[in-house]
Structures are given as C-alpha cells and as structure tokens.
Amino acid sequence: MERRRPSTATTAWIPGRRVRGDPKSPGPLSGHRFAVKDLIDVAGATTTAGNPDWARTHPRPRTTAPVVERLLRSGAALVGKTICDELAFGLEGKNIHYGTPLNPRAPDCLPGGSSSGSASAVARGWVDFALGTDTGGSVRVPASYCGIFGFRPTHGRIPMRGIVPLAPEYDTLGWFARDAATLARVGTTLFGSTEDRLVGSIAVARDAFDLLPEAEHQRLMSIVEHRFPQRRTVTVFTGGRKPWLDAYRFRQGRSAWSLHGPWIERLHPRFAPEIAERFAAAARVTRAEARWADRTAVALARSVHRLLGEDRL
C-alpha cells in the first residue's frame, strides 16, 4: 500500500451528480442503502467511467443495469454513484478529475482501485454495501486497503449488461460490505437459487503467496495449517509466474484497446499520465502476442481444472 497523503476528495461520490433509486418492493435487502461504481448505468444519470471526456461524449443511459434493478426489487435503496479510476484501468484508486477518495482506515494511504469510491463509502459507513467491478483486482485490492469485505465471484456468474467494459474476458461484478453477513446477503440476492456442493478436499497453493514477506508468509501458512489439517499443498505456477502475467497483460490490453482505442484516437481524452501509458501499452500489443496469450490462457485454465477436479477447493 502506497503511503502518502493521497486523498484529494472530501467524498466518495461523483461531484455534481445526484443519483437516487428508491426500493421497488420489500425484500431481503429492505433497509439497506447501497452505492454503485460509476461504470454502472442508472437510467437518466450520466455514466462518467471516471473521466469527464467520457461523460461528455456518451449519452445518458435510458435503462438501468440489470444488477441494480435486481437490488432495487429486493428492497435496497440506491443513494449514489462513486468515483473510480478512469475507465477502471488502475489499481491505486487515484482520479485527477474527480479526486481520490479517502481511505478511512489508513488516511495517509491510497484507497486502492479501481473501485475506490465504493470501498471508501462502505468503509466510512455511508452505505451498507456497494457495487464495484473487478478485472484484475479492482474489488479485492480496495477491500484489502480499506479493511472491509470484498467479493469477486466467478467470471460470468453475474450479467455485465449496462456496465462499461474494460476487458470482457476478465470483467466481473463484485461488491463490498463491512460485515460478512451483509456480504452474503447481497450475494444470495444476486445469485438467486444455488446448489450446495460438498468440498472433497482443500488445496493450498503455497507458491501463490511466495511474494509475501517471509514473516507474513509463515504466519499465513500456520493459520492455514491450523484451520485445514486435512489439506494438500499444490504448486500452481509450475512454469513460473511470467506466462500467467504476460498472458493476462496481453489479453487485457488487446481487449481494452479494441474497445476504447477508436474513441481515444478520435477524441484524445485527457487521462492521468499512468492511465494514458496503460492505454499506450495496450495499443502496442501485437497480433502474435495476442494469439500466444489466448493459447496460453487456455492451457493454464486446463491445468487449474486438472488441479482442482470437481470437488477440491
């Protein structure tokens, strides 16, 4: 976590845009207030995607994203839209246009992104839960930075209609809450009916935590060993981490530029320097790199499926 005084916003909300949504019927979320990351459409309210030029050049949506409609039908009240990294292409939580939301648990530190405002609003107690999106950590990172619960479900489990994409092969709707009970209640609402499945065995991917400082690594492993005595330690990165990281970077970049490159080249929007550089790097992904990344991603997915089988967690 970067330590400095990064907060430049007195709020987590998109300034100058009042967005409200009353509950449409009583339900399991009655009495709960929620916010949505400003990638998510609410009918009649401009979706900024964290960038004023995006807001200026895109029409106001006529319909509300289905995931928001479902929450309203379940009794929750929408109270606002939150600041995010521009087009969700960042993990720090900074925004040069609308301000960087405060990290209330560590005011000298960044809130994490790209769902920074949603995490900040939950951590500050302004809402009971908030929606974000997670492509490469954009729910998980701000949840950890702000000391709250964050959940990224399986990719494709929740429809992404009405949400500005970055890389559809990774984009996932997630949410934040201050307590596990609320986190689970929102999940039950969004997932609908589910089938319970018994876990046959626990697999601990020890090498997935090797980047931790040694003391933290040992502490984590001791907790896992205590909680899961009947476990199996496995190696995920059999060929090292680099193929995984490169495949992700090339595929994400290819998708991001395919979706937003024409708009960027036509409008030349004002981006923060780090956001501009990420899009410039995305534009440099070659066809050969993209094809290699697709093949590598398929092979890596198969290896993980073999590792987990049908009932291993």
8 Å CB contact between 276 and 230: no
pLDDT band at residue 313 using 50, 70 and 90 as cut-offs: confident
Q: What is the pLDDT of residue 117?
A: 98
Kindly tell me if the per-residue pLDDT of 18 is higher than 70. yes
* Residue 21 maps to a domain: no
Whether 43 and 151 share a structural domain: yes
Kindly tell me if the per-residue pLDDT of 230 is higher than 90. no
CB atoms closer than 10 angstroms to residue 30: 12
Q: What is the pLDDT of residue 1?
A: 54
Q: What is the pLDDT of residue 296?
A: 94
Whether 69 and 172 share a structural domain: yes
Whether 94 and 58 share a structural domain: yes
Residue 61, classified by CB atoms within 10 Å of its CB into exposed (0-12), middle (13-18) or buried (19+), is: middle
* Residue 23 maps to a domain: no
* Residue 2 maps to a domain: no
pLDDT band at residue 25 using 50, 70 and 90 as cut-offs: very high
Kindly tell me if the per-residue pLDDT of 31 is higher than 90. yes
> Which of 13-22, 73-82, 238-247, 293-302 is least confident?
13-22
Q: pLDDT tens-digit profile of 288-308? A: 999 999 999 999 889 888 888
Residue 224, classified by CB atoms within 10 Å of its CB into exposed (0-12), middle (13-18) or buried (19+), is: middle
User: What tokens were used for 176?
Assistant: 């934040």
Whether 127 and 214 share a structural domain: no
Whether 249 and 152 share a structural domain: no
* Residue 17 maps to a domain: no
- Which range of residues forms the domain containing residue 293? 242-308
Q: What is the pLDDT of residue 311?
A: 79
- Quick one: average pLDDT of 131-160? 97
**Residue tagged active-site, from 74, 81, 94, 114:** 114
User: In the chain, what percentage of residues exceed pLDDT 90?
Assistant: 73
- Quick one: average pLDDT of 143-164? 97
* 79 φ, ψ (degrees, to nearest 5): -120, -5
pLDDT band at residue 95 using 50, 70 and 90 as cut-offs: very high
* Residue 27 maps to a domain: no
Whether 42 and 159 share a structural domain: yes
Kindly tell me if the per-residue pLDDT of 173 is higher than 70. yes
Q: pLDDT tens-digit profile of 261-285? A: 999 999 999 999 999 999 999 999 9
Give helix 273-283 / helix 242-267 axis angle, nearest 10°.
Answer: 100
* Residue 185 maps to a domain: yes
Kindly tell me if the per-residue pLDDT of 38 is higher than 90. yes
8 Å CB contact between 261 and 253: no
Whether 170 and 60 share a structural domain: yes
**What is the overall mean pLDDT for the chain?**
93
CATH code (residue 172): 3.90.1300.10
How many structural domains are present in the chain?
3
pLDDT band at residue 211 using 50, 70 and 90 as cut-offs: confident
- Hey, what's the torsion of the CAs at 181, 141, 278, 288, to 10 degrees? -80
* 43 φ, ψ (degrees, to nearest 5): -50, 130
**Residue tagged active-site, from 74, 116, 138, 255:** 138
User: What tokens were used for 46?
Assistant: 């401009």
User: What tokens were used for 138?
Assistant: 């954009």
* Residue 57 maps to a domain: yes
- Quick one: average pLDDT of 155-180? 98
Whether 163 and 222 share a structural domain: no
Whether 139 and 90 share a structural domain: yes
Whether 225 and 176 share a structural domain: no
Phi-psi region of 268 (alpha: psi -120 to 50; beta: other; left: phi over 0): left
* Residue 52 maps to a domain: yes
Active-site residue flag, 81: no
- Quick one: average pLDDT of 153-169? 97
**Residue tagged active-site, from 37, 115, 116, 118:** 37
Q: What is the pLDDT of residue 2?
A: 53
User: In the chain, what percentage of residues exceed pLDDT 70?
Assistant: 97
pLDDT band at residue 9 using 50, 70 and 90 as cut-offs: low
Active-site residue flag, 24: no
pTM attached to this predicted model: 0.92
